[in-house]
Structure 1
Amino acid sequence: MKKTAVFGTIICFVLLLTACTIGKANTGEGTGDINDTLTLSWPLDIGPINPHLYDPSEMFAQALVYDPLVSYGDNGKIQPALAAKWQVSEDGRNYTFTLREGVLYSDGTTLTAENVKRNIEAVIKNKDRHSWLEAISLIDKVEAIDPLRVRIALKEAYYPFLQELTLIRPLRMLGDSGFPASGSTAEGIAAPIGTGPWILTNYVQDSHAEFSRNDHYWGEKPKIKRVVIKFISDSQTRIMALEKGEIDLIFGSGQLAPVEYQTLQQQSNYQTMVSGPLSTRVLAINSTVAPTNEKEVRLALQHLVDRKTIVEHLLDGLEEEAESLFSPGFPYSDIKAGQYPYNIGTAMQLLDQAGWKAVDGKPFRMKGAETLQVTIPYRSTDAIHKALLEYLQSAWREAGIDVKLQPDEPLVYTQKVKAGKFNLTMNDTWGVPYDPHMYIRTMTGENQLGYYAQKGTADSETFTENVEKVIRATEEVERRALYESILQSIHDESMLIPISYRTNYLVANERVNGLQFTPHQYEVPLSLYEMKE
């Protein structure tokens, strides 16, 4: 049966580098037969799944194990999670959370206000690592009022505070036995002990991970008893594994090229689904290094992006052309700052004005003895980014721009981007609950990709001031006016190139029931799936 729908990321502190198994004291592992097990592929090793840190941990795996105090629901509504309820003081600076009674960690210990306090304080002690997240810098004090009530005092009012508590990282809760002897999670954890629906029960580095249902889980328990995640970096190998029955599911944009998805969709023995818009595919332009420090060059690149061809032929119609930085339905996505039309003539005029001239006998434009060249690193594991960038490389070379693509392993790519060693790179927005305020906020944080996009522009100082203001604005009229100014600066200075509205898609065999997506592009809703007998 074929279904098509449109709707809307452990190392378990290893003593051996090749493998580790988490003891049965944590779990109820491996008791189900094949009908109780779902097997899927993932392009990367899931990493140490430290709830308080980032790469190399994969977000979807962190979300399987750890819970937040509050969750992000439909239409952006903040809903109870580990906290059953909360109160906010009139001045917006004090948040008092009442925890659910009887919530247990996977090791059988109880969630308490002191444990929540310990988690938040562990993150705050490593606050330099979390400079992109305003909530961390604004927390003044955490107090356990009684066993089930915890109060968080802010230095000043901050409208997205609850929204930032819903993030997959770094403010999710780790059990006391998961903390290392040092007490600091900045360097690692002792074990992945969470309150979430899944427990890591077996892990072989660079091979696979197994998660078992957490029978202590406070919410609705998963219908499947066990999930096996195989780390497969190549899309063709994934497809072969699906065809051989070695995996049941391929989930997420980037694991399959659109043409591969369409080919599998046409086969009657697979189920296929496409989500609605989850975020925006964006090319970020580094305004701090030559030649993209020149506004005319950045504008020319805007006019050299043929969104229609990209969407129709490279994305096979699975996504829509981006008309704004944030996809429809997100806050402030209705602010229209303008769009640069595909126009080769205009691009050539801009490059001529900047002094980059076509020279007889030379394949690329020159300015004196210098060749017009841009470098674009990307994650080698993302099939879609690879296809899009190879297309742009070909098209831009025809326009006289030498494009150097640099496929990198994810960690190498991340290090390169943080150091600003690029002219352009793919930088999708993050979707809910991050867009718009957190994505915009990172554009003012050093060593962040968006920082390089705005820092070298003429509007950088005003842009930074407006971002600082908007995240603290409590009045909607003021906040909207500031977002209008921010988005207009991004457009006018050509900091970012929106390409399309990103979707997730999946392919599954007939054994899997209950297939669906959530609005979160970094979550795989495995708890909602079930296996046919």
Structure 2
Amino acid sequence: MSAILVVALVAGCGSASVGPGGSGEVDRTASLRIAYPVTQSLDPAQAAEPAQLLIATWPVYDRLIQVTSDAKYAPMLATGWEFSPDGKALTLTLRQGVTFSDGTPFDAAAVKANLEHSKAAAGSALQANVAGITTVEVISPDTVKLDLAQPSTTVLSTLSSTLGGLMISPKALESPDLASRPVGTGAYVIDSFQPGQQVTYKRRTDNGGIWDDKTGKPATVSIDTFGNADAMSNALLGNQADLIVWSSDVGRFRSAIASGTLEHTVMGGVLNMVGINLNKTREPYDDPRVREAVNYAIDRESLVEAFMPDTVARVQPWPEGLPGFDQAREDSYTFDPAKAEQILADAGYADGVDGGEIAVANVGSFPDVSQAVQANLAAVGIRVELRNVDVYTLVTQWAQGHSEAEMMYMSMPSIDPYSWTQRLFVNPVWTPGNTTEVANMAAGLDNSTLSEEARAAGIGKIVDYATRNALYAPLWQGVGGFVSNPKVEGLDDLASVNGGVADFRNVYMTE
């Protein structure tokens, strides 16, 4: 998230402090410097998941569909789309007059080439993301029809994702340099790339090359990896970065924010969640009573107040903003250590229980939060060990069953509720154990011919089941926000925030 990973959407952004910025005029000579983890490759076929790629490629690559701040699909390279009456096909109307930076026109043939290339990316997350698309038919230069394996809303999620919706010049699709030399329709072209460290882009100068007049305002954009929160904050305070993504308390910036030399922008309403994923195939979490005790033992409100004050404590493993959320479920597990102890005693653990290892994503405030969680659990007799793990590595290690639990993001870069059920409750990469019951409950909920009311009701039943069976121990919903140079503008007009990862295409600097 991922840095991950972040996949989630902004319902509204508000600046917590407005400082003395520049003149207010757009500085078209500016270099926008962003502190954000950079991936090892810019090739979608080599990306582990969508949000990871969006971090570093938004300046150069556009997507067919984007997601708005109120969790709706909106035009990007596709200006419209329509399902067939039976839901087995989706027809896209494409934006005209757009070119890739190598001069190749963007049209239906380019869309067909991209989707067929994605389908052929054997063994990749990209291939898996487009698996529901069977054939691609060019109807006209600005119209393309996608035949689907079955009626499914997930195709819209795919087309708004960097894994499926991102459009590459057909001339570059087979390039051996695609991992480091992306060629897209975006406002920028690649200038330099150091895998895992830095990527720099410069604004396109070809006539008519920038189709979206809200983008391309800074002359250059650089995205740099800084090893940890201290390095990131020092980069901002030391004028090595103009913008950082900050998911912890802003106490270290308080004086600078008060004086107006820095600004804090809160991302409100994002879908992104964080929590503890319990391995239900391993003791003691194969016993639902132990999982319940974990949920009663955690003081979520205090955790949020101390470490993530711009987020909301969450009990149900489902974000507000998606169909199926029910505020009443938030009373399911109050902070009640005595009740946790009684549940453990009833389960045969009156003297406490060894809860094994919690692998902690080494990002933001997670390591500090995990220590508070460890103390909460110890207070009721659940003894756990903590191990901090690089967030990308943790995804692989968790799937391999290395730990009894993990503290990790509980989200995906999508607003499709069916896709969320698969991510949280069905996919074996994230959910160890038998998930057949939930998979059966979710069957058909992605059908594009289903009414939204029926879809929400079906999703709600799954979330009820997941909450009742304590499949997770959620902690909070939200991702914090940004801290920036006061000359940075446009953070209230983010193009998309999926999984907590922002598309900064509309962000600029003033003189």
> Shorter-chain TM-score: what band?
0.7 to 0.9
Partner SS for 2:333: coil
- Indicate if the aligned counterparts of 1:83 and 1:100 stay in contact, CA closer than 8 A: yes
Q: How does 1:448-527 map to 2 (within 5 A)?
A: 448-449=429-430, 451-452=431-432, 455-456=433-434, 460-472=435-447, 474-516=450-492, 518=494, 520-521=497-498, 522-527=500-505
Amino acid at match of 2:202: S
Partner SS for 2:231: helix
- Indicate if the aligned counterparts of 1:211 and 1:227 stay in contact, CA closer than 8 A: yes
The change in CA–CA distance for 1:435 and 1:161 in structure 2 (over 3 A counts) is: closer
Alpha-carbon deviation of 1:341?
A: 0.9
Q: What's the Cα RMSD here? A: 3.0
Q: Give yes or no for the alignment of 1:66 onto 2:48.
A: no
Q: Give 2:23's aligned residue.
A: none
Alignment partner of 1:111 out of 94, 103, 106 = 106
The change in CA–CA distance for 1:181 and 1:61 in structure 2 (over 3 A counts) is: closer
Q: Give yes or no for the alignment of 1:244 onto 2:238.
A: yes
Alpha-carbon deviation of 1:244?
A: 2.0
Q: Give 1:214's aligned residue.
A: 204
The change in CA–CA distance for 1:147 and 1:107 in structure 2 (over 3 A counts) is: same
Q: Matches of 2:48 and 2:436 in 1, distance apart?
A: 30
Partner SS for 2:130: helix
Q: Percent identity?
A: 21
Q: How does 1:61-460 map to 2 (within 5 A)?
A: 61-126=56-121, 129-130=124-125, 136-180=130-174, 189=179, 191-215=181-205, 216-220=209-213, 221-253=215-247, 256-260=248-252, 262=254, 264-279=256-271, 280-315=273-308, 317-322=309-314, 324-334=316-326, 336-337=328-329, 339-358=332-351, 365=352, 372-380=354-362, 382-430=363-411, 433-434=414-415, 436-443=417-424, 445-449=426-430, 451-452=431-432, 455-456=433-434, 460=435
Q: Matches of 2:480 and 2:171 in 1, distance apart?
A: 36
**Bigger Rg, which one:** 1
String of CA shifts for 1:63-101, please: whole Å, max 9, x gaps.
332222222235343322212333432212122223222
The change in CA–CA distance for 1:531 and 1:304 in structure 2 (over 3 A counts) is: same
Alpha-carbon deviation of 1:126?
A: 3.7
- Indicate if the aligned counterparts of 2:264 and 2:483 stay in contact, CA closer than 8 A: yes
The change in CA–CA distance for 1:33 and 1:67 in structure 2 (over 3 A counts) is: closer
Partner SS for 1:156: coil
Q: Matches of 1:127 and 1:487 in 2, distance apart?
A: 33
Q: Matches of 1:122 and 1:390 in 2, distance apart?
A: 45
The change in CA–CA distance for 1:265 and 1:107 in structure 2 (over 3 A counts) is: same
The range that moved more, 244-253 or 423-432, is 423-432
Partner SS for 1:328: coil
Q: Give 1:22's aligned residue.
A: none
Q: Give 1:12's aligned residue.
A: none
The change in CA–CA distance for 1:268 and 1:33 in structure 2 (over 3 A counts) is: closer
Amino acid at match of 2:145: R
Structure 2's unaligned 5+ residue stretches are 1-13, 19-25
Amino acid at match of 2:360: Y
Alpha-carbon deviation of 1:34?
A: 9.9
String of CA shifts for 1:149-196, please: whole Å, max 9, x gaps.
2211112211343243112323311112322358xx9xx657311112
Q: Give 2:38's aligned residue.
A: 45
Q: Give the number of equivalent residue pairs.
A: 480
Q: Matches of 1:75 and 1:524 in 2, distance apart?
A: 14
Alpha-carbon deviation of 1:379?
A: 2.4
Q: Matches of 2:106 and 2:126 in 1, distance apart?
A: 28
Q: Give 1:13's aligned residue.
A: none
Q: Give 1:11's aligned residue.
A: none
Q: Matches of 2:69 and 2:483 in 1, distance apart?
A: 25
Amino acid at match of 1:48: S
Q: Matches of 1:33 and 1:243 in 2, distance apart?
A: 21
Alpha-carbon deviation of 1:431?
A: 6.5
Q: Matches of 1:261 and 1:468 in 2, distance apart?
A: 48
TM-score normalized with structure 2 length: 0.85
Partner SS for 2:388: strand
- Greater RCO, 1 or 2 (C-alpha within 8 Å, sep 6+): 2
The change in CA–CA distance for 1:506 and 1:418 in structure 2 (over 3 A counts) is: same
The range that moved more, 495-504 or 46-55, is 46-55
Alpha-carbon deviation of 1:475?
A: 3.0
Alpha-carbon deviation of 1:313?
A: 1.8
Structure 1's unaligned 5+ residue stretches are 7-31, 359-364, 367-371
Partner SS for 1:302: helix
- Indicate if the aligned counterparts of 1:303 and 1:346 stay in contact, CA closer than 8 A: yes
Alpha-carbon deviation of 1:336?
A: 4.0
Q: Matches of 2:69 and 2:304 in 1, distance apart?
A: 28
Alpha-carbon deviation of 1:131?
A: 9.1
- Indicate if the aligned counterparts of 1:224 and 1:527 stay in contact, CA closer than 8 A: no
Q: Matches of 2:321 and 2:109 in 1, distance apart?
A: 38
Partner SS for 1:137: coil
Alpha-carbon deviation of 1:306?
A: 0.6
TM-score normalized with structure 1 length: 0.82
The change in CA–CA distance for 1:335 and 1:3 in structure 2 (over 3 A counts) is: closer
Alpha-carbon deviation of 1:5?
A: 6.9
String of CA shifts for 1:388-436, please: whole Å, max 9, x gaps.
1111112222332221111122332121022232222234343663353
The change in CA–CA distance for 1:492 and 1:127 in structure 2 (over 3 A counts) is: farther
Q: Matches of 2:417 and 2:372 in 1, distance apart?
A: 29
Alpha-carbon deviation of 1:218?
A: 1.7
